[in-house]
Structure 1
């Protein structure tokens, strides 16, 4: 099986994983907040007021959830890029497909009880894809330059 086929299989599996996590009620904001409270023992912090504890939980909840969006869709864009790498506009295609999948994922989420769809999340997903694809591009350029003899310019 070709290397590209493995990336295509990884892409499909990752899309299914995203779909399944979107569907689970355990990943709502309130469930995540409760998990954060238990994981970090925030209710045990004596020097914070109850309002400060809630604000801390909300902040951590926001950061963790948005970092998850950035990461999940960044990974998807990388898998897509590797699947499409031999094509001329592989970076653009990978980003566009990731953006479209993020929109359909939020639309799907709107049908899941206790979940809401947010275009802000789509933008965060697209940003994660952009960041990963930019890093991929920069790493490839650096590797290409490293492999050339000294003094030879890139075409």
Structure 2
């Protein structure tokens, strides 16, 4: 099986993982906030007021949930890029497909009880994809430049 086929399989599996996590009720904002409270023992912090504890939980909840969006769709864009790498506009194609999938994921989420769809999340997903694809481009460019330098040294 070709290397590209493995990337295509990884892409499909990752899309399924995102789809499944979207429909799980455990990943609602309130469930995540409760998990954060228990995990970090925020209710046990004596020097914080109740209001400060809620603010801390809400802030952590926001950061964790949005970092998850950035990461999940960044990974998807990388898998898509590797699947499409041989095509001329592979970076753009990978970003566009990730963006479209993010929109359909939010639309799907709108039908899940206790979940809401948000175009802001689509933009965060697209940003994660952009960041990962930009990093991929920069790393590949650096490797290509290093390879060219090595080749010039060998030719001398």
User: Shorter-normalised TM-score: what interval?
Assistant: over 0.9
Q: Quick one: distance in 1 between partners of 2:90 and 2:149?
A: 27
Q: Quick one: distance in 2 between partners of 1:154 and 1:82?
A: 31
Q: Quick one: distance in 2 between partners of 1:7 and 1:79?
A: 6
Alpha-carbon distance, 1:148 to partner: 1.2
Q: Quick one: distance in 1 between partners of 2:81 and 2:70?
A: 16
TM-score where L is the length of structure 1? 0.97
Instruction: Please give the root-mean-square deviation of Cα atoms over the aligned residues, in Å.
Output: 2.4
Q: Label 1:154 to 1:62 Cα distance change in 2 as closer, same or farther (>3 A).
A: farther
Deviations 1:64-122 (A, max 9, x none): 00000000000000000000000000000000000000000000000000000000000
Gaps of 5+ in 2: none
Q: Label 1:138 to 1:38 Cα distance change in 2 as closer, same or farther (>3 A).
A: same
Kindly indicate which of the two structures has a greater share of residues assigned to helix: 2
2:146 is aligned to: 146
Gaps of 5+ in 1: none
Number of residue pairs matched?
155
SS in 2 for 1:147: helix
Answer yes or no: is the 8 Å Cα contact 1:8–1:79 preserved in 2: yes
TM-score where L is the length of structure 2? 0.96
Q: Label 1:151 to 1:82 Cα distance change in 2 as closer, same or farther (>3 A).
A: closer
Structure 1 runs of 4+ with >3 Å offset: 150-155
